[in-house]
Amino acid sequence: MNAEVSPPVAGLRRPDGPAKLAGTARYVADVPAGDALVATMVCATVPRADRAVVDASAARRAPGVAAVLTADDLPPLRYEGAVGQSVLPMTDHVVRYEGQPVALVLADTGERSRHAADLVRVTYEGVRPVLAFADAEDTVESRPMMGPADHGTGDVARGLAEARTVVGATYTTSDRHHSPIEPSATLARWDGDRLTVHDTVQSVSATRAVLATAFGLEAEQVRVVCPFVGGGFGCKGYIWPHQVLTAAAARTAGRAVRLALTRAQMFTSCGHQPQTRQTVTLGADAEGRLTALRHHSVNATSRHHEYAEATTDACASLYAGPHIELRRRMRHTDRATPTPMRSPHEGPGLFALESAVDELAYAAGLDPLAFRLRNLPARDALTGAPFSTHELRACLERGAERFGWDRRAPEPRATREGDELVGLGMAALSLETHRSPSSARVRRTADGRVRVEAGTEEIGTGQPGVLATVAAEVLDVRPEDVEVVFGDSRLPVTSMTAGSSATMGVGSAVLLAARAVREKLAGGAEEAEAEASWGPQEGSDGLGRKDTMSVHAYGAVFVEVRVDALLGRVRVARCTGAYAAGRIINPLAARSQMTGGLTWGLGQALLERSRFDVEFGRFRSKNLAGYAVPVNADVPELDVFFVEDHDTYASPLGAKGIGELAPLGVSAAVANAVFHATGVRVRSLPIGIPDLLEGMPRD
């Protein structure tokens, strides 16, 4: 069952690569700041209190300290827009979560700033008990962002009554943290009433808007610079309190201020993926066709904010069924606010759905692949809308052939090699296509040079190379000869680099601008410049969706696991991913995205868990020693390929999003393979040794 060796992948090598390898790519913490003060946050050590009383007298006397700022020292601020949570700390004295900043120490060096922060003493009044997730009540979003919290069609009770086979189970996923290699950092400087901020963000445009609102400025008075981001994965998508507080500190101190979060502060200051509890009930008739699908989900969120994982989103695009019932809820607890994390929504949701589908296939006596192929939808099962493209069948069939699924023994625990039980598992996957408007400017000079300008950020995905490729194709030059300028709010406004939408939005704007330049050149101009904007079809919602068309990217993932029969240790031996994600602009960068995403999915399946201490209201291990992520030894050879798919409804490029597609389905495929290997069905992530030792028979 050895996977075939993939040939070398063609495409443009990342133009940002040499600078990153040589260490000359400048990140926010590297930007020269001259006389900037260094800020250190003093964070609350309790999860909830009516009042934090800060004694900074000793800290203010420490060497090199310019100021210690508390809620009494900052100007009034309006914290709204694309913000990560609804309440800005240090605008009152209330503590809402452990790790919340209650003071800022400003000093001339980092060492002195941190030393003085240790001298700050904080006492708490009215400390309240921590509320555990299991004890909280279910609540409904007041303003659902991802669509209705309750959605469905038909009558699920009737569908279950008509079913020959019914399965139902509860699945749980853990709190997880983004853990980018670059912690968040902000450098703020005022020049009169003009603010310049170097910040590690996934949207310079959104950051500019939030800061302008916070300080009562016009957008033109704020400049945000961020060419390179050392990983974000969602935690740098919204604007978090520390960013606004740094700018406020710079205004109060009258000097530039730099704040770099510690690794521990990254666990409390810029979101996390919340734990979920999902119940899935499925019914199938005698022919193995779905008669009912019920998916209920609830996730933890903070007490002062709403964040709901739309875990039920993938159901209608993956499977046909006359009776569907989807519901999502939240439970407010004393912890920091969650946020989108690669991949939000479908990431935790597909673990539950695709595990349940696997269980139903076994209960119905059908091969898991055959069951999925039998239940593919012709249209969106909820709205009845046609699909813009729908290549899921091709992903399933071609992925299975490449993986060697037909050589799989159907019964669990049927294959053993030495002390290892061998199992094969798979999952289907779907990612809703979110689209946002963007602008770009393209210039071609008389000597043939091409320059692309857009405010977008490079967050590690190779975006500059994609934009260079788009412009080069239109203007008939080599991609290597296209200069891409990015990461500055003075450049044309682009959407957030998130939601797997950047290539569609920014790339389409570059395409249209390049075409306009080409037309000017064809008319006799020696050099030309054009700026263009692109956005989804008229009538689309804030995420670029319309009820008249269902737009998704698709895929299928197949894995082989080997489980030590004595120790219960799981090892993924090989993995094949087949994807239909529209036109692939740069195959080399796209393959890198998918292998990185598959690795991320393995982390969710087997390693990643942020343990929350309900007694003290804090995450226990705020470091990478206590929070495990995959390393080389955990990752097998990954076989990735793309099914041809050109979707001009999604974007003029024919492209869809891929960044968040690859992690999807991996955890379910691993869990399904573990069941095939051992006969033990694990319904909680990550899968641990105790899960298997407790359930495996002793041979």
Q: Token pair for residue 131?
A: 């509320």
655 neighbors 507 (Cβ within 8 angstroms) = yes
User: Is residue 140 a part of any domain in this protein?
Assistant: no
pLDDT at 173: 98
Write out 14-47 in H/E/C secondary structure. Answer: CCCHHHHHHCCCCCHHHCCCCCCEEEEEEECCCC
Three-state secondary-structure class, residue 547? coil
Look at the chain and report how many structural domains it folds into: 3
Q: Do residue 354 and residue 406 come from a single domain?
A: yes
Residue 473 appears among annotated catalytic residues: no
Candidates 453, 526, 660, 694; catalytic one? 660
**CA atoms of 417 and 400, how far apart (whole Å):** 22
663 neighbors 342 (Cβ within 8 angstroms) = yes
**CA atoms of 207 and 242, how far apart (whole Å):** 12
Q: Which residue has the tokens 């598992």?
A: 425
- Name which of 429, 426, 366 is nearest 392 in CA terms: 429
Report residue 360 CA to chain centroid gap. 29
User: Is residue 621 a part of any domain in this protein?
Assistant: yes
Q: Which residue has the tokens 């992948």?
A: 9
User: Is residue 306 a part of any domain in this protein?
Assistant: no
pLDDT at 227: 87
Residues 6 or more apart from 134 whose CB is under 8 A from it?
none
Q: Do residue 89 and residue 195 come from a single domain?
A: yes
Strands lying side by side in the sheet with 257-260: 65-69, 101-107, 37-43, 257-260, 185-191, 194-199, 222-225
User: Is residue 171 a part of any domain in this protein?
Assistant: no
Q: Do residue 511 and residue 554 come from a single domain?
A: no
The burial class, CB within 10 Å (0-12 / 13-18 / 19+), for 398 is middle
User: Is residue 576 a part of any domain in this protein?
Assistant: yes
- Omega cis (within 30) before 437: no
pLDDT at 83: 97
Q: Do residue 409 and residue 473 come from a single domain?
A: no
3-state helix, strand, coil in the chain (%, to 5): 25, 25, 45
The H or E element that residue 248 is part of is helix 241-253
pLDDT at 7: 55
Write out 428-479 in H/E/C secondary structure. Answer: EEEEECCCCCEEEEEEECCCCCEEEECCCCECCCCHHHHHHHHHHHHHCCCH
Give start and end residues of each alpha helix (H) in 62-163. Answer: 110-119, 156-162
User: Is residue 168 a part of any domain in this protein?
Assistant: no
Q: Do residue 564 and residue 453 come from a single domain?
A: no
Q: Do residue 589 and residue 670 come from a single domain?
A: yes
- Name which of 114, 100, 265, 252 is nearest 177 in CA terms: 265
Write out 382-429 in H/E/C secondary structure. Answer: CCCCCECCCCHHHHHHHHHHHHCHHHCCCCCCCCEECCEEEEEEEEEE
Its domain, for residue 581, covers 335-432+546-693
**CA atoms of 631 and 623, how far apart (whole Å):** 16
The H or E element that residue 60 is part of is helix 57-60
Q: What are phi and psi of 518, to 5 degrees?
A: -60, -40
Low-confidence residues of the chain: pLDDT under 70: 1-8, 699
- Single out the residue in 501, 534, 567 at which a domain terminates: 534
User: Is residue 278 a part of any domain in this protein?
Assistant: no
Q: What are phi and psi of 75, to 5 degrees?
A: -75, 165
Report residue 53 CA to chain centroid gap. 36
Question: Looking at residue 516, which CATH number applies to its domain?
Answer: 3.30.365.10
**CA atoms of 189 and 249, how far apart (whole Å):** 10
**CA atoms of 561 and 574, how far apart (whole Å):** 7
Find the angle CA(355)-CA(359)-CA(361) to the nearest 5 degrees: 115
Q: Do residue 191 and residue 213 come from a single domain?
A: yes
- Single out the residue in 215, 250, 269 at which a domain terminates: 269
**CA atoms of 454 and 466, how far apart (whole Å):** 12
Q: Which residue has the tokens 């296209």?
A: 482
Q: Do residue 517 and residue 595 come from a single domain?
A: no
Residues 6 or more apart from 463 whose CB is under 8 A from it?
456, 457, 486, 497, 502, 503, 506
478 neighbors 13 (Cβ within 8 angstroms) = no
Q: Do residue 464 and residue 599 come from a single domain?
A: no
Read off the pLDDT of residues 609-662 as tens digits, 9 standing for 90 and up.
Answer: 999 999 999 999 999 999 999 999 999 999 999 999 999 999 999 999 999 999
Q: Do residue 550 and residue 491 come from a single domain?
A: no
Q: Which residues pair with 283 in a beta bridge?
A: 166, 292
Q: Do residue 259 and residue 339 come from a single domain?
A: no
Q: Do residue 418 and residue 554 come from a single domain?
A: yes
Helix axes 508-522, 463-475, angle to 10 degrees: 30
**CA atoms of 246 and 118, how far apart (whole Å):** 19
- Single out the residue in 250, 269, 288 at which a domain terminates: 269
Q: Token pair for residue 95?
A: 């503590």
User: Is residue 121 a part of any domain in this protein?
Assistant: yes
